[in-house]
Amino acid sequence: MGNVTVIGAQWGDEGKGKIVDWLASRADMVVRFQGGHNAGHTLVVGNETYKLSLLPSGIVRGTPSVIGNGVVLDPWALKAEIEKIAAQGLSITPDVLMIAETCPLILPIHRDLDALREDASGAGKIGTTRRGIGPAYEDKVGRRAIRVCDLAHLGQLDPLLDRLCAHHDHLRAGFGWPPVDRDRLKRDLEGIADFVLAFARPVWRDLDEARRRGRRILFEGAQGVLLDVDHGTYPFVTSSNTVAGTTGSGSGMGPSAAGFVLGIVKAYTTRVGSGPFPTELSDEVGQRLGERGHEFGTVTGRQRRCGWFDAVLVRQSAAVSGITGIALTKIDVLDGMETVKICTGYRIGDKTYDYLPPHAADQARAEPIYEEMPGWSGTTAGARSWADLPAQAIKYVRRIEELIRCPVALVSTSPQRDDTILVSDPFAS
């Protein structure tokens, strides 16, 4: 029995939260290893809906959950999320939540900068979640970040704040903004320190111990491969590596820890925020997908852009991320469609491509080459076994497997936890 890594194989919102929650009953620990509260993972258990941004989705099952060093952590957002979840009856104690002492913090100045840049970018804006994710990662690699462990040494915070504020004051001045209110920032950090420190641990040791004891670790990715800062549709990406290769560096484990890489793949395509989207539909079919799939962002409430399944992109994601098998989600949203289309290549100018070239200008004018298949009249919604799926829906799944060169391990047929078909157990491989 090995570990499993769940990652999004498209532009995020593929249904990772639902699948992680489902798999968490078989795992001993769940670990977030990148991203921050830009993520929005929705779990539906009976009549209760949980919306998690920073907390690993295993927390709802009570599976011990880790926020790894690769995550950027907004301590005030963490507190608010823990309070929100507590109001739903889930108590988050240090027994169940462990936070890496080396996590860089997202501060209010990061949110300011994210918003200032977006507002100044006009049509070229990324469409970020405005949570301060990019600026926080910049300060991490710029070696200016305040980290969780700094909260345990408040007496030594001054020189760190001086260096950080000096940098931000220059940037803010460029936007005509006043300097950072350093004293207030310090007071805010002093005020939140004890709350965060209650969960802080050398999680790399816990994970090493878990590995030695043969415990099963489930890594929970945020965003998706096409939003990866190296492999995604740059610059319209997030500021972390979302690929499975990040599990080790983002948690403090070795490169083999990832185990079975389960790519979560929506049966069509969505994107929230700006950037190229070759199969985007601006007609009534796109509208129908959005309505039936309830495609509104969990974090920002923005309407998600919708389009046909793009096998070229998912094949590329599977290759760059080493995806072992996929969980195909939201196939029920396609129920009742007369025909369904799959993109199998692009036409860019007078050339055809079987991959997405890296330049933003080429990506923006890529025209999809489609293959069309009949839809199905029966329903897949709520199906829990392969035999419950209409024959034509099975053909659609099989064709996707063929085109992306990856087998299907799970199929999800509704937001509900148990409406899931197990084709082959990722933990068993």
Contact residues toward ligand GDP (CB under 6 A) are 8, 12-18, 40-42, 44, 294, 298, 329-330, 332-333, 412-415
* Residue 307's binding partner out of ligand GDP, Mg ion, ligand IMO, none, with CB under 5 to 8 Å set by partner kind: none
Would you call 13 a catalytic residue per the annotation?
A: yes
Instruction: Return the number of the residue (219 or 376) whose C-beta is nearest ligand IMO.
Output: 219
Say whether 335 sits in a helix, a strand or coil: coil
Spatial separation of the C-alpha atoms in residues 389 and 114, rounded to whole Å: 45
Residue span 172-211 as binding mask against ligand IMO, x where in contact by CB under 6 A, dash where not: ----------------------------------------
Catalytic residue among 37, 41, 110, 231: 41
Question: Any residues with CB less than 8 A from the CB of 330 and at least 6 apart, and which?
Answer: 15, 266, 267, 268, 293, 412
Which residue from 155, 133, 149 is spatially nearest to 196, judged by alpha carbons? 149
Question: Any residues with CB less than 8 A from the CB of 296 and at least 6 apart, and which?
Answer: 302, 303, 304
Residues forming a β-bridge with 327:
264, 410
* Residue 111's binding partner out of ligand IMO, ligand GDP, Mg ion, none, with CB under 5 to 8 Å set by partner kind: none
Residues forming a β-bridge with 410:
327, 422
Instruction: Return the number of the residue (146 or 299) whose C-beta is nearest Mg ion.
Output: 299
Minimal CB distance to ligand IMO: which residue? 273
Instruction: Return the number of the residue (329 or 380) whose C-beta is nearest ligand IMO.
Output: 329
Under the binding rule (CB under 6 A), the answer on residue 272 touching ligand IMO is yes
Instruction: Return the number of the residue (13 or 101) whose C-beta is nearest Mg ion.
Output: 13
What is the footprint of ligand IMO within residues 33-62 (CB under 6 A)? 38-41
Would you call 231 a catalytic residue per the annotation?
A: no
Quickly tell me which residue has 């990832």 as its tokens.
258
Sort strands 29-32 and 260-266 into parallel, antiparallel or unpaired.
unpaired
User: What count of residues does the chain have?
Assistant: 429
Q: Are 68 and 100 in contact (CB under 8 A)?
A: yes
Find the helix packing angle between 133-141 and 108-120, rounded to 10°: 110
Question: Any residues with CB less than 8 A from the CB of 4 and at least 6 apart, and which?
Answer: 23, 27, 216, 217, 218, 219, 259, 260, 261, 262, 426, 427
Under the binding rule (CB under 5 A), the answer on residue 40 touching Mg ion is yes
Catalytic residue among 37, 140, 168, 341: 140
What is the footprint of Mg ion within residues 281-310 (CB under 5 A)? 298
Under the binding rule (CB under 6 A), the answer on residue 146 touching ligand IMO is no
Under the binding rule (CB under 5 A), the answer on residue 13 touching Mg ion is yes
Would you call 140 a catalytic residue per the annotation?
A: yes
Under the binding rule (CB under 6 A), the answer on residue 265 touching ligand IMO is no
Residues catalogued as catalytic: 13, 41, 140
User: Residue numbers of the site for ligand IMO (CB under 6 A)?
Assistant: 8, 11-13, 38-41, 126-129, 131, 133-134, 222-224, 227, 238-239, 272-273
